[in-house]
Copies of this chain bind each other. A is one copy, B any other.
Amino acid sequence: MYEVEVKLRADHGTVRERLAEAGAVREAGVKQTDTYYGAPHRDFAETDEALRIRREARVDDGDGGDEGETTKVTYKGPLVDEASKTRSEHETTVGDGESVEGILSGLGFEPVETVEKDREFFALDGYTVTLDAVAGLGEFVEVEAAAETEAEIDAVREGAFEVLRRLGLDPDDQIRTSYLALLLAE
């Protein structure tokens, strides 16, 4: 599976109005604290991989409910498609985030940077539109969907661009740099 994702800077107030007009459904709000790791045997900045522990507190589930906290570990492989930041991804929930820190530390992996953000998820035209407020960086909008095969990536990306246009945004403003890299460049 490939995660196709297009991201750009955008003022959330304006985008919220457009989402409402387009009939997007707000699905949930979460607070994510991501710890990114560096590897002992590779420079992830060069190979463009990422290894992350994500702690997520669900602020609400769209119906006002509170759903507690989860921890996930995610590995993102090198980019397959430059144009849309498409890469292979493996992710699992874990029972104990501190043990994962212990495992990674034992293996020689070191925490490099922490990214904290508040995210709101909306569903629109088969895509997930995410409003991200990132600590230290500001407001962003992401449009994302999954492509089952590499052959589907172009069509999924074109659909994401169409969603951006519906929201009054310009696909040419796309930022291909991750929040992690933006923070590391600060």
Interface residues of A (CB under 8 A from B): 39-42, 49, 51, 73-75, 77, 88, 90-97, 99-100, 102-103, 106-108
Of the A-B pairs whose beta carbons lie under 8 Å apart in the complex, a sample of 8, sorted by A's number, is A39-B107, A40-B41, A41-B41, A41-B108, A75-B102, A88-B106, A91-B96, A93-B94
Main secondary structure of the interface of A (DSSP, over half): mixed
Distance to closest chain B CB from A36 (angstroms): 14
Q: Known: A39-B107, A103-B73, A103-B75. Contact between A92 and B95, CB under 8 A?
A: yes
A19 to B97, CA, bound (A): 37
A92 to B95, CA, bound (A): 6
A103 to B93, CA, bound (A): 12
Q: Indicate which residue in B40, B74, B102 contacts A90 across the interface (CB closer than 8 Å).
A: B102
Contact yes or no, B90 A99, CB < 8 A: yes
